[in-house]
Amino acid sequence: MVSACVDGRVANTSNASEAWVGWETKYGDMCGDFSLLAELTVAEVKQIGYLLLPSRFINKTPIDGLCGMTDEEGLGVSYCAIDAAVRGVGWRNESDKARIMQLHKNSRHKHEKMPTFTPYKEMW
């Protein structure tokens, strides 16, 4: 998803499923003044979408826009499996579990405070 500007404020459009596996960009779609979708899985965002949008927008296969692959091809796992992991409802199979946990581990740096060097801390 892409960040959007509303009345001078930038909306973060990442959702919980994307965040869990790191399928978001630092200083890109992760940025914003507010986030309406951060606590919602892909399936939950779609459910809300059905109330507001034509189904052609909701059922469109998400692609990364860079290499022509779908999000799920790039991730190596389905959003359905990621959603289940985010909500703690169990794993569909062991290969999905291994892939999702590896993606989650590899992307933790995106949600941690940036390390900084403090030169004067050690001097005093």
Nearest to 26 by CA among 113, 116, 99: 113
Confidence of residue 77 (pLDDT cuts 50, 70, 90): very high
**Domains present along the chain, CATH in parentheses:** 4-111 (3.40.50.620)
pLDDT beyond 90 at 17: yes
- Residues of the chain above pLDDT 90, percent: 53
How far apart (Å, rounded) are the C-alpha atoms in residues 67 and 78?
18
Residue 82 neighbours by CB under 8 Å, 6+ apart = 17, 20, 21, 41, 42, 75, 100
Name 48's Cβ contacts closer than 8 Å, sequence gap at least 6: 40
Asked if pLDDT for residue 6 goes beyond 60, the answer is no
* pLDDT tens digit sequence for 84-123: 999 988 887 999 999 999 999 999 998 888 888 887 766 5
**pLDDT tens track for 27-47:** 888 888 999 999 999 999 999
